[in-house]
């Protein structure tokens, strides 16, 4: 799978209408395959510490971002840096294409250890290695610290499929047993992510989620990841969502309200 990531506070260079560079966030395309993350980029010249050489702090931030991505994918939710080290083996030139590979070495209940290397595409030389320990963040702690999170631009800064993965993990973490009363089967189609079709099976004891379209359903949703997030986070009511356009909801037996009640703990912290 391929994810689009944007690091807003790391500057890339784009040419403006007056031919002067205009800053924007560094865009990354991260390929995720069999537990390994791979990204290729041309090191922006704005990152240089010495002429033609990328600053070590820039490379460390880049490594932390990619290793954090691996940790989040492995945990199925949020993970934060606990410790990381970087071994600089050779200068990393600016304006040269590099490949960064990272994968989890160990995964425990609390800590995910990730290793990374950076390779110059034209010579195959490894210019630095990194290693980091990332701690899983519990749902309660995550809700306590993200009150000021920028939800409006979430799908612009991260790939919608990645956001959907995080959101699904959060819904499962916050699901409240003993609320829904009976089994509700949801067919969820996310039009801007892959896989496109998902099955949510909500019972009185748990929420199970798997890729694929169910043969039958009680509630059907079709729309963007953003619209789905707005629905389950109570940003918009089902009627508001349908009226806004990007979301379509079929709920012939009025069972969606029971599902939303069972995930009431997933509301945005600022709501």
What is the secondary structure of 143-195 as a DSSP string? HHH-TT---TTHHHHB-HHHHHHHHHHHHHHH--TTSS-S-EEEEEEETTSSS
The pLDDT assigned to 139 comes to 59
pLDDT tens for the chain, 271 residues: list them. Answer: 777 777 767 766 543 444 444 456 788 889 998 889 999 998 888 888 999 999 999 999 999 999 999 998 888 777 899 999 999 999 999 988 999 999 999 999 899 999 999 999 999 999 999 999 999 886 555 554 444 556 677 777 777 888 888 888 888 877 888 888 889 999 999 998 888 999 999 999 989 999 999 999 999 999 999 999 999 988 888 999 888 877 899 999 999 999 999 986 544 444 4
**Hey, where are the domains in the chain?**
2-137, 158-266
b/e for 235-270, b at 16 or more Cβ within 10 A? bbebeebbeeebbebebeeebbebbbebbeebeeee
Q: In what order do the strands lie in the sheet with 2-15?
A: 2-15, 21-33, 36-42, 97-107, 111-120, 126-136, 79-88
The pLDDT assigned to 16 comes to 40
The pLDDT assigned to 19 comes to 47
Spatial contact of 30 and 2, defined as CB atoms under 8 Å apart:
yes
Asked: is 2-137 a CATH 3.40.640.10 domain? The reply is: no
Spatial contact of 61 and 132, defined as CB atoms under 8 Å apart:
no
d(CA 185, CA 132): 40
d(CA 202, CA 193): 22
The pLDDT assigned to 268 comes to 45
d(CA 68, CA 84): 10
Return the CATH fold of 158-266: Nonspecific Lipid-transfer Protein; Chain A (3.30.1050)
């Amino acid at each position: 799978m391929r994810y689009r990531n944007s690091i807003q506070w790391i500057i890339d260079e784009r040419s403006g209408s007056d031919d002067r560079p205009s800053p924007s966030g560094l865009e990354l395309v991260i390929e995720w395959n069999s537990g390994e993350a791979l990204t290729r980029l041309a090191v922006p010249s704005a990152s240089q510490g010495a002429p033609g050489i990328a600053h070590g702090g820039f490379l460390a931030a880049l490594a932390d971002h990619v290793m954090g991505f691996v940790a989040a994918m492995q945990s199925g939710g949020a993970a934060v840096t606990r410790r990381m080290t970087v071994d600089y083996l050779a200068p990393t030139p600016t304006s040269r294409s590099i490949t960064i590979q990272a994968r989890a070495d160990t995964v425990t209940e609390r800590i995910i250890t990730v290793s990374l290397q950076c390779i110059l595409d034209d010579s195959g030389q490894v210019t630095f290695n990194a290693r980091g320990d990332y701690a899983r963040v519990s749902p309660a702690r995550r809700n306590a610290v993200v009150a000021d999170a920028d939800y409006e631009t979430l799908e612009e800064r991260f790939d919608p499929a990645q956001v959907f993965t995080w959101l699904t993990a959060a819904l499962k973490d916050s699901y409240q047993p003993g609320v829904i009363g009976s089994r509700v089967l949801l067919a969820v189609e996310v039009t801007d992510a892959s896989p496109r079709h998902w099955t949510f099976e909500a019972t009185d004891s748990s929420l199970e989620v798997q890729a694929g379209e169910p043969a039958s359903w009680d509630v059907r949703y079709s729309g963007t990841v953003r619209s789905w997030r707005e629905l389950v986070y109570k940003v918009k009511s089902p009627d508001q969502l349908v009226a806004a356009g990007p979301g379509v909801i079929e709920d012939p037996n009025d069972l969606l309200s029971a599902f939303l009640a069972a995930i009431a703990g997933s509301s945005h912290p600022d709501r």
